[in-house]
Structure 1
């Protein structure tokens, strides 16, 4: 099955099963499912193609993003909107989902990345609707995950590669082409 069809089908199923007025518990469950779907696809697609380098780099991106998220949760003990604990910042569900989506995008192109980003965005939305995170927690998680996925992966076809970069004096995009 093509990557875009696989992730689009999962996204359509997810959105069709989400009621307009879901409970906070329902949104939390939906965020668990959407996170698991995008992470599962990010690991299954390279395995399906026998792309062991891609599988390893995606696993590395997920691991580093998870560790960085845990470190930030420890360093910045923000209380969750529902008051359940002090592990709100940044959103772990969102950071892992975006690391998976960015890994798919970087490795397989926008056809796999676009539906994966949509699913990752749904994960972040569901975390806010579940009252588990503030919007800034989700934005920080998305930025952290995207950076992890982009920086720790390479394109499957490395003839054209672009990499966003930033420093204290500015930022930009580096483009390299091999002929």
Structure 2
């Protein structure tokens, strides 16, 4: 497939770049605790108590942040990231003549941003250049172009109990390009 960037001239139109960051997190906590008491009374009497507490807690959250930029076809626009974690940029591969996005190797730095250059030739596809990567995207559709995921797991155990916790946070950077 020939690059849109090599075709001259590009239509003199404005393109709207909409970017949203979709965040989701899942927290899970579980544990078991034991408590035992033994009491000795006067006259040789004794009493014993034992308690076992089991618990499990789950929570999920999601949210999004978005921005819009209007740019002339073929020109660059600055996009700001509102994330404390880096994103792994997707890349375009062609399978059976159709563009498919797959996990890439380029990282977008946390809390900074990137320059985006859209190139549209009048068809239903648009090239979006981000840094050294060029993605081929359908016009007018939300597409995930980058992902970020962190997983944390901790376990604690002692004489009378144990607990475990896991946190999973994921974010997707989605973009939609439209002609204005």
Shorter-chain TM band: under 0.3
Indicate the structure with greater helix content: 1
User: Could you tell me the TM-score, scaled by structure 2's length?
Assistant: 0.24
User: Could you tell me the TM-score, scaled by structure 1's length?
Assistant: 0.24
